[in-house]
Amino acid sequence: MKFPIYLDYSATTPVDPRVAEKMIPWLTEHFGNPASRSHAYGWAAEEAVETAREQVAALVNADPKEIIWTSGATESNNLAIKGAAHFYKGKGKHVITLKTEHKAVLDTVRELEREGFEATYLDVQENGLVDLEALKAAIRPDTILISVMFVNNEVGVIQPIAEIGELCREKGIVFHVDAAQATGKIGIDLAALKVDLMSFSAHKTYGPKGIGALYVRRKPRVRLEAQMHGGGHERGLRSGTLATHQIVGMGEAFRLAREEMGVENERIRRLRDKLLAGLTDIEATYVNGDLEQRVPHNLNISFAYVEGESLIMAIKEIAVSSGSACTSASLEPSYVLRALGRNDELAHSSIRFSIGRFTTEEEVDYTIDLLRRKIGKLRELSPLWEMYKDGVDLDTVQWAAH
Amino acid sequence: MSFAPVYLDWNATTPLDEVVREAMLPWLGVGEQARFGNASSRHEYGRQARAAIDEARVRVASAVGAHATEVVFTSGGSEANNLFLKGAAGVFKPALLAISAIEHPCVREPARQLQRGGWALREIGVDAQGLVDEASWQAVLAERPRLVSVMMANNETGVVQDLARIAAQARTVGAWVHTDAVQAVGKLEVDFRTLGVHALSLSAHKIGGPLGAGALIVDKRVELTPLIAGGGQERGLRSGTENVAAIVGFGVACERARAAQAQEAQRLGALREELERGLLQCGASIFSAQAPRLPNTVFFAIGQIDGETLVAKLDRAGFACASGSACSSANPEPSHTLLAMGVERGLARAAVRISLGRDTTAEQVRAFLAALAGVTDNLRNLASVAA
């Protein structure tokens, strides 16, 4: 086993060796600028870019013409949300999203608010799923855009995208979906889903960092205002020289995902079930987020009566996170878990385990054993645990101010 | 094709330097030292990625005489230019923005976007050699622009502006000055402090680094609004999971470009001299020949022979070059740089750009000249038959 054991696949995934193999030639003998129309170096690069576009489109059953390259899902989210809001601002100025969205969506919507748009940040239910009735109720006559992520990055729950799509189409509202955590984990059929804009990332699906895509629906056509101006690449929606090797890598990663996700996800589900059984066996642990409407790759568990920082320190043999990577520098408890109704203490003592292509059963066994031992030790030191074991209801204790 | 064409389009993009590639490979999961962490993760995988980015940041900064904290990594030069212009405009009420008339589209187009948002836009004219025109510049300066962006070296003509002087004068009226130095780095000495600009854009793939990485070097006293919001990476100025492999490659490429710069400038300068002697013998007129230029770039025209046609013929003869910037190579319009210099459209349409680089040899230059002579003779004969 290689230590620390990597169980943070939701933060990023290693590049699959087969993906790297496809990328390398574009770092050596082929190096053209895909925009160079006057020589073979440019043509070869352009052809590779178009093949990759087909591969990405195929995973989500879209037309290649609907795929726009970006530098990653963060940029895709920014382009989709600001681009649509700016384009359709004449129709209205209200935007709806969820409190549990990724920062790349939340901060972008906040930026729109500073520009004069109005935003509703919807609560989710205790299981992390959006309440469709609440969403319906939040829609106003001037609502122009709804942004809901497909799979949550912290708790792995799958939002009812098909139902929200129907609702949006009926009301003529542009619907954006951040699918960074969904590709390769669940089937996505954009011919069936009434989604107008969808963000993708390569590095969450065994492709390279620095490349992503935005799906922009053609029928019915959705319009965007570009956010990056220049040479007019990507039909004017996103200027900047295309990074051929990265695009080729994303194409191959998505091709592999399409071919292998069926088998792979069964294997991952078995590992997750084992991890789930092994960890929930520990007393006073709580799984965060719905267990049914959820990708098997994610397990987010709160261990009560354990201090979060000490827990992270105690399990250095495994690489996990206590929230999303993007917010892991802050000591604030996860805003996603808070939105699920977890109190600060439980949110603080939560661990996100995310399993992936290279996780082995041996690693899962090791992790279960490690957690059992360490949680036991930490609780031995915890006065709260002692009170809990003595039958004190900690929620009713009146703490003295000091 | 059984053999690779001779690459003479180094201003469009450069082949990846082998040393750069070796540095990148672990971050693409190749070899014993394979790495892949998200730099924001707090565990070992993440810390390794963070350390690699920090190291690259120091390399990029020192290549242009800046401090590591002044480097904001982006997805490339286009994004860096967009970030400065829109980011700086975001902190002011609409005022006057001045750019030179020969900027790359990724400066010109964001500027036009700001114009649609209420900013006044002035283009600073250039003279027949492609240098900023003194009278035009003084007239713009008198209007006290808030933001000024003038490219350090032009991608087509290779003309190098006297940026230190332009920056100093712009500062006297309180303007923030930015320069697109994408074509300058590695070919000239670029020093952030000596130039006296507030911000400077760089791109990795123009200096032997990978596609997909660039940076905005920005004075810490300059406040910008981000272009891409989210996780708050790059001091909040550029969100999104860092492209570690490309950033690592960019760092190494900067270091190597800086180290080789003086010697390469001399070597490529000599090659270009030979190239230009041959071009003149072919009856070429060389644009901006009297101006200070990048040592590797020649922009020329041979009579009224259409540039696109010439480039296509040269491609068939085994030489990859361009009729202008790659970004607009799908665009049939003649070079806007040449039009801004007052070159008449017919001649501008005849323009061909040769740009040399690290792997260019004297043999390649001679072979190119021989091929060019054949191609032009052939085209002239065809023309005389048609006439």
CA gap A40, A46 in Å, rounded:
10
Q: How large a percentage of chain A has pLDDT more than 70?
A: 97
Catalytic one of B254, B282, B321, B327 = B327
Chain B nearest-CA residue for A239? B78
- Cβ contact B43–A242 (<8 Å): no
ipTM of the complex in this document = 0.93
Average pLDDT (A253-274) is 98
Tokens found for residue A390: 């003595």
- Least CB–CB distance from A209: residue in B110, B243, B323: B243
Terminal CA-CA length for chain A = 47
- What distance in Å separates the CA atoms of residue A284 and residue A262, rounded to the nearest whole number? 34
Residues of B with CB below 8 A from A83's CB? Answer: none
Say yes or no for a CB contact (<8 Å) between B230 and A108.
yes
pLDDT surpassing 90 at residue B9: yes
Do A208 and B243 count as a contact with CB atoms less than 8 A apart?
Answer: yes
Quick check: helix, strand or coil at residue B135? Answer: helix
Q: Look at B105 and A12 and tell me if their CB atoms are within 8 Å.
A: no
- The mean pLDDT of B132-161, rounded to a whole number, is 98
Option in B34, B78, B212 nearest A230 (CB):
B78
**pLDDT at residue B149 greater than cutoff 70:** yes
- Label residues B273-286 b or e (16+ Cβ within 10 Å = b): eebbebbeeeebbb
User: Quick one: which of B319, B382, B310, B296 has its CA closest to B352?
Assistant: B310
Least confident of A93-97, A249-253, A395-399: A395-399
Taking the C-alpha atoms of residue A103 and residue A86, their distance in angstroms, rounded to an integer, is 20
pLDDT reading at A55 higher than 80: yes
**Set of chain A residues whose Cβ sits within 8 Å of the Cβ of B243:** 71-72, 208-211, 246
Confidence grade of residue B386 (pLDDT, cut at 50, 70, 90): confident
Compute the nearest-CA separation of B225 from chain A (Å).
10
Q: Do A15 and B28 touch (CB under 8 A)?
A: yes
Position B2 scores a pLDDT of 43
Catalytic residue among A35, A58, A228, A326: A326
B372 — pLDDT class (breaks 50, 70, 90): very high
Of the candidates B5, B75, B105, the beta carbon closest to that of A71 is on B75
List, for residues A288-307, the tens digit of each pLDDT value.
Answer: 999 999 999 999 999 999 98
B211 and A242: CB-CB below 8 Å? yes
Q: Which residues of A touch B106 (CB under 8 A)?
A: 229-231, 239-240
Strand A350-354 relative to strand B297-302, pairing: unpaired
CA distances from A236 to A35, A290, A299, B113, B337 (A): 13, 41, 41, 13, 21
Residue A324: the pLDDT is: 54
Residue (of B133, B75, B10, B108) closest to B331 by Cα position: B108
Give the mean model confidence (pLDDT) for residues A247-262. 98
Q: Residue A396 pLDDT more than 80?
A: no
Q: CA of A356 to nearest chain B CA: how many angstroms apart?
A: 14
Higher pLDDT, A345 or B86: B86
Mean pLDDT score, A156-183: 98
Considering only CB atoms, which chain B residues are within 8 Å of A232?
105, 109, 327
Look at residues A89, A87, A109 and name the one whose alpha carbon lies nearest to residue A98: A109
pLDDT value for B387:
66
Please tell me the predicted confidence (pLDDT) of residue A144: 98
B327 pLDDT above the threshold of 60: no
B1 closest CB neighbour out of A40, A209, A228: A40
Nearest CB to A32 within list B13, B229, B312: B13
CA distance B312 to chain A (A): 6
Partner-chain contact B311 A239, CB within 8 Å: no
* Helix residue spans in chain B (DSSP H): 18-24, 44-63, 77-89, 105-116, 134-142, 163-172, 192-195, 244-281, 307-316, 336-340, 345-348, 362-386
User: Can you tell me the distance from the alpha carbon of A107 to that of A109, in angstroms, rounded to the nearest whole number?
Assistant: 5
- Rounded to an integer, the average pLDDT of A386-391 is 90
Q: Do B241 and A74 touch (CB under 8 A)?
A: yes
The mean pLDDT of B58-69, rounded to a whole number, is 98
CB pair distance less than 8 Å for A75 and B34: no
| pLDDT (mean) for B354-360 | 97
Show residues of chain B in contact with A44, CB under 8 Å.
none
Average pLDDT over every residue of A264-275? 98
Region A37-51: mean pLDDT is: 87
Q: What is the pLDDT of residue B352?
A: 96
Residue B313 distance to chain A (closest CA, Å): 10
| B chain contacts of residue A319, beta-carbon cutoff 8 Å | 41, 43-46
For the ranges A221-235, B56-70, B354-368, the lowest mean pLDDT is seen at: A221-235
Please give, rounded to a whole number of angstroms, the shortest distance from the CA of A190 to a CA of chain B.
25
A168 catalytic? Reply is no
Contacts of A17 in chain B (CB under 8 A): 29-30
The pLDDT tens digits of the residues spanning B217-235 come to 999 999 999 999 999 999 9
Q: How confident is the model at residue B1 (pLDDT cuts 50, 70, 90)?
A: very low
pLDDT tens digit sequence for A349-383 = 999 999 999 999 999 999 999 999 999 999 998 88
pLDDT, residue B326, reads 59
Question: What mean pLDDT, rounded, does chain A reach?
Answer: 94
Whether residues B210 and A27 touch (CB distance < 8 A) is answered with yes
Average pLDDT estimate for A192-199: 98
Please give the Cα distance from B95 to B110 (Å, whole number): 15
Interface test with A, best of B6, B20, B40, B43 (most A CBs within 10 A): B43
Average pLDDT over chain B, rounded to an integer: 95
Tokens (6 digits) for A180: 């960074």
**This prediction's pTM:** 0.95
Whole-Å CA distances, B161 to B63, B132, B151, B257:
20, 7, 7, 21
Q: Which residues of chain B does A316 touch, with a Cβ-Cβ cutoff of 8 Å?
A: 43
Could you read off the pLDDT of B257-289 as tens digits, one per residue?
999 999 999 999 999 999 999 999 999 999 999
**Quick one: pLDDT at residue B256?**
98
> What percent of chain B has a predicted confidence (pLDDT) above 70?
97
Q: With an 8 Å Cβ cutoff, are B113 and A240 in contact?
A: no
Q: How far is CA B103 from CA A231, A262, B188, B354, B375, in A?
A: 11, 50, 18, 19, 32
- CA A246 – CA A26 distance, rounded (Å): 9
Contact: B38, A36; criterion CB under 8 Å: no
CB atoms within 10 A of CB A309: 12
